[in-house]
């Protein structure tokens, strides 16, 4: 990938996010545009950014539906941002809000504007069930007809009634869902169940410490509805608060792909073609991925100010970081979880930095299997010691997606907020990076440095 240099300094100001709600729990009734509006309004307050100074809003959203077409525009108007301002919704699966920050930086570089709010939103609790079929069928020509013919539609071979949630978490090219891609990585790279469970235990422990120690209060704002707080802190780590002290609970969780109705041998028959020649070995091959060493499905939104340095200073904004470079790197969709190990070296090259220069890293944790695979691939192929950064406390020191949850479109800027506020609290921190994988085989990474 060719390197690039930014012709002007692009900086990051304050940001904010909602607490992350667990699927079908506290934020389940809230629409994604309302979650995004909350994140935008709180970002404006914390940054002390005048609304009239905002040139645009760019929002990542994976589960796009037509109740809020171009959710960025809907949010912009509801939040009272300038009517003339640019509003764009982007979709790059789980790296969508990394994409939104990079899109804002590109717009500033090209001179389209100087101050943007970038972020993402998701309500996995509200992802719809869908009717897939052609409106050429007389049964699908109107909503009234659909309702009238509903019982026969369910039997029609030309109509598919689908769950958008499960459909969206399955790659349509390789025909594999995201949890199965994690098991593929675990089998390919020899990642044990015990190692995954221990990493997950630490994710929960660090997330709870982050909340109890006051870190998350720096940028997480209770979600209000009608003056009443629906949720004041991330939900899932407190639903599972006892887990870090009970590691045996992780061991009791059933393997997703190794049980009485679906064996690990069957998994190899279905997905062995993706495992680069790793064979099934009777008595030695075992399933490793469980619900407890995977991230939760979630609801939430996040946002951050992206601006030219010149304009940020003119407005008197506090600058938390400078964008140094970014990169996106695709790989085999069946191996999507290791894509950050591929994107990170490109982002560092673009930033003019080495992996060893990084004082802080926020790495998305879709599954412990994929994180530990990144540790292995990153070191063996690129000389990047991700595991060393984790052991030193530089990587995900306040927990990650396994504990906090994963509101798809919001996770990229959630990672960025973690990075910025952790670096702000650390006098010695100078350079940091966020990285995430996405369904379809895409990795994204962004490097930021402290100002000055």
Of 145, 149, 152, 146, which is closest to residue 131 (Cα–Cα)? 146
HSE toward the beta carbon, residue 3, CA cutoff 13 A: 11
Predicted local distance difference test score (pLDDT) of residue 225: 86
Nearest to 291 by CA among 317, 257, 248: 257
> What is the predicted pLDDT for the residue at 207?
98
Please report the pLDDT score of residue 228 as a whole number: 87
Angle between helices 178-189 and 368-382 (to 10 degrees): 50
Spatial contact of 414 and 311, defined as CB atoms under 8 Å apart:
no
Determine the pLDDT at residue 226.
82
Say what the alpha-carbon torsion angle 399, 432, 104, 106 is, to the nearest 10 degrees: -140
What pLDDT, on the 0 to 100 scale, is given for residue 227? Answer: 83
In order of 103, 113, 159, 285, the CA distances from 108 in angstroms are 9, 5, 45, 51
The Cα 301–Cα 34 span in angstroms is 9
How far apart CA 64 and CA 66 sit, in angstroms, is 7
Neighbours of 298 (CB within 10 A): 28
pLDDT of res. 2: 53
Predicted pLDDT of residue 28: 98
Name 196's Cβ contacts closer than 8 Å, sequence gap at least 6: 186, 288, 289, 290, 293, 367, 368, 369, 372
Rounded CA-CA distance 425/422 in Å is 5
CB atoms within 10 A of CB 356: 12
pTM above 0.95?
yes
Is the separation of the CB atoms in 365 and 203 below 8 Å? yes
Tens place of pLDDT per residue across the chain (452 aa): 556 778 899 999 999 999 999 999 999 999 999 999 999 999 999 999 999 999 999 999 999 999 999 999 999 999 999 999 999 999 999 999 999 999 999 999 999 999 999 999 999 999 999 999 999 998 999 999 999 999 888 889 999 999 999 999 999 999 999 999 999 999 999 999 999 999 999 999 999 999 999 999 999 999 998 888 999 999 999 999 999 999 899 999 999 999 999 999 999 999 999 999 999 999 999 999 999 999 999 999 999 999 999 999 999 999 999 999 999 999 999 999 999 999 999 999 999 999 999 999 999 999 999 999 999 999 999 999 999 999 999 999 999 999 999 999 999 999 999 999 999 999 999 999 999 999 999 999 999 999 97
Which pLDDT value is given to residue 221? 98
């Amino acid at each position: 990938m060719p390197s690039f240099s930014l012709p002007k300094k692009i900086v990051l100001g304050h940001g904010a996010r909602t607490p992350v709600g667990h699927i079908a729990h506290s934020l389940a009734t809230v629409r994604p545009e309302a979650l995004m509006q909350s994140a935008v309004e709180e970002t404006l307050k914390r940054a002390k950014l005048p609304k009239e100074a905002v040139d645009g809003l760019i929002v990542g959203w994976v589960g796009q539906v037509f109740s809020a077409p171009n959710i960025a525009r809907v949010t912009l108007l509801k939040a009272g941002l300038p009517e003339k301002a640019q509003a764009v919704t982007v979709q790059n699966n789980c790296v969508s809000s990394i994409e939104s920050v990079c899109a804002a930086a590109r717009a500033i570089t090209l001179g389209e504007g100087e101050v943007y709010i970038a972020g993402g939103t998701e309500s996995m609790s509200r992802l719809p069930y869908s009717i897939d079929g052609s409106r050429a069928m007389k049964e699908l020509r109107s909503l009234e007809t659909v309702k009238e013919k509903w019982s026969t539609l369910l039997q029609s071979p030309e109509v598919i009634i689908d769950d958008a949630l499960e459909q969206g978490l399955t790659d349509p090219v390789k025909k594999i869902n995201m949890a199965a891609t994690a098991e593929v990585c675990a089998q390919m790279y020899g990642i044990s169940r015990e190692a995954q469970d221990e990493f997950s235990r630490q994710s929960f422990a660090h997330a709870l410490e982050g909340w109890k120690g006051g870190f998350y209060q720096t940028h997480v704002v209770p979600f209000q509805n009608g003056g009443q707080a629906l949720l004041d802190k991330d939900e899932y780590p407190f639903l599972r608060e006892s887990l870090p002290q009970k590691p045996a609970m992780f061991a009791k969780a059933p393997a997703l792909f190794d049980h009485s109705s679906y064996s690990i041998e069957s998994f190899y028959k279905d997905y062995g073609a993706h495992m680069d020649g790793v064979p099934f070995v009777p008595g030695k091959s075992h399933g490793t991925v469980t619900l407890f060493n995977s991230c939760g499905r979630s609801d939430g939104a996040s946002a951050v100010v992206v601006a030219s340095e010149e304009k940020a200073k003119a407005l008197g904004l506090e600058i938390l970081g400078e964008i140094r470079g970014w990169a996106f790197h695709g790989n085999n969709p069946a191996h999507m979880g290791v894509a950050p190990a591929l994107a990170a070296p490109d982002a560092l090259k673009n930033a003019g930095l080495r992996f060893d220069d990084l004082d802080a890293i926020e790495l998305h944790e879709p599954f412990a299997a994929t994180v530990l695979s990144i540790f292995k691939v990153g070191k063996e192929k690129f000389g990047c010691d991700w595991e060393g950064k984790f052991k030193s406390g530089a990587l995900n020191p306040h927990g990650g997606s396994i504990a906090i949850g994963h509101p798809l479109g919001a996770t990229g800027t959630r990672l960025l907020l973690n990075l910025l506020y952790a670096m702000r609290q650390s006098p010695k921190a100078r350079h940091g990076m966020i990285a995430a994988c996405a369904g379809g085989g895409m990795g994204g990474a962004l490097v930021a440095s402290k100002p000055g």
